[in-house]
Structure 1
Amino acid sequence: MQVSDRFHLWQGLSKRVGDIAAAHRGCLPAAMGDPEPPPPSANSAGPSDSDDTPARRHAKRLFEAVHAATDTGRSLNAAARELGLNRRTVGKYARAATWQECVRRPRPRRPTSLDPYLEYLRQRWEEGEHTATVLHQEIVAKGYRGNYQRVKMAIAPLRRGLPIDTPRERPPSPREVARWITTEPSRRSLHATEALRRLLKRCPELDRTHDLVRQFAAMLDARDATSLPGWLEELAASHLPALASLAKAIREDQHAVVQGITTRFNSGVNEGRITDLKLQKRIMAGRAGVRLLRHRVILMASLRRRYL
């Protein structure tokens, strides 16, 4: 009787979830919530000045050229040869719904030890204290351990009438989103729960993926594969290539998958033995022979039987 391993079933599903999150990377910033709009600057020009940059014009031209080639039915390789671009670049622009998704955005500033004191610096500036040395001495008295130069750089925008550059939350990575989706809801942190709720509200494809993952998790927890055929039909009809390919792979060995879900048998013991063997080989590489390796493997197996 063939039995699929429950761990590898879940691992395969998790990998597909990561692929879907990567394909919908443009939706991931929605997990951060609605940011507060920055205050208008007195010397700022119209929105067209910030939109019309060389990088944005280049992204728009590439987006139009790639879609002109791929929308006619050409493959990614053919389009890449015709345009003289790398296949990965063509794939990125072909998957994008708009050219704005392809524009490289500047990374948010990383948090620093000065961040807890930025509001105090802003308040003191509004009160009329514009000397960086004095401001540095005041926050040192409050516990700041950084240098004077960082304080000077932090208040430099205020001298030009601009706001202090505060750190912004980074959008989650596809791997992080996949971890949120595959984690049991009761074990998610409050931050992950709220971020995932905002993201699923914004992206129907990830919302559908989340529902399908939770259905499969319920099958594993209950050891009940009755709903597996219907679940496979939902995967195939989800219009998500990653899940459709998973449904095809499971159908090829569906009997073993059913046994893996419903029975207590799994290959976890064998996987553990293989891990032990690889660990010993790496520890002893070039230091001992087969005889000592054999003794150590037997000893580890004995310890596993005794304590596990």
Structure 2
Amino acid sequence: MWLTVWSVKELVLRLEELLFPSIADVAVLSVDVNDEAVHIEARSTVAGAVCPDCGSWSRRIHSSYLRFPADVPSGGRRVALCLRIRRFLCPVISCGRRTFAEQLSGLTRRHGRRTERLRSTLAAVGLALAGRAGARLVRVFGVSVSRSTVLRLVEALPDPQVPAPRVVGVDEYATRKGRNYGTILVDVESRRPVDLLPDREASSLTAWLAKRPGIEVVCRDRAPFFAEGATAGAPQAAQVADRWHLWHNLSEAAERCVADHRGCLRVLSPEPAQQTPEPGKAQDPNGSPWPTGHRFADRTRAKHATVHELLAAGLSRRAIGRQLHIIPHREALRRRSHPGRPLPRAVARSAVQARRVQALPG
């Protein structure tokens, strides 16, 4: 189908509206679409540019060159721009910059390899998902970046404008515990950090509070330097103790009280009732806490008796271990060859733990 001159102009204008909806003074010269990418050739339609140093307007063109910034993908294809950038001569002789390159507002920046809208898109993904997860998500969109690039774009964002808090929380944080400490200030109502101070001196807190006369309440712990800084920097504000330190101090006081009166609690505890033997189980005449008829106790007693019979017959411990297949367990063989009464391992361990409990102070 043949296109007239007016239809070509309408098509170009339509492409400019679709490709650069919020960018003015940019003309699309050609569009090349294939299975992998969309190549767009464009240029600026402004006659001149402003010098970034002195702010003078210049129309004297020194030279031009091509830039190829990446743009937001479209339809699963990557978008590459081919921009004709002009370099202008600064008309002010005293200006230190003799020439400068034009920057398309909303599209390019100095030394930028991506358009502003692609840069803002990657930064928004980085704010939501951080480095690794953000890099994996943008690959689905057709943009290949590393996690370090996503984090750099997030770090380059300007700090948000935080309104002056009405209720501020003051506490310390450690960059190296026991040596280097700083001060963190939090908006208690919004529960968001407001600022970080490099130390925990009263003078730093005083200077910070003096710049914000709208603070009405200072929530702090019982540190003396925070008390001095809050009193000097915000005399109009009420000082209250924060909830976490109240509960923490209460729990420590209750723990100390229980520890001091532990002896009284032990005296008031009732004596344990004497356990009556269950019917059908005979008591061990040697006084073992494991009754006769228990499979573990009977097995231990049988091995104990076998070891003593073999020792009485004149066999060595090594020969007994090979015969009873307990060679790797020399400690078990030594226990069974002991002349005393047999005790299962669990009973011996519980007896040791009981002696340790009785040896505790208080």
Instruction: With the length of structure 2 as denominator, give the TM-score of the two structures.
Output: 0.17
**Larger radius of gyration, structure 1 or 2?**
2
Higher fraction of helix: 1
Higher fraction of strand: 2
Instruction: With the length of structure 1 as denominator, give the TM-score of the two structures.
Output: 0.20
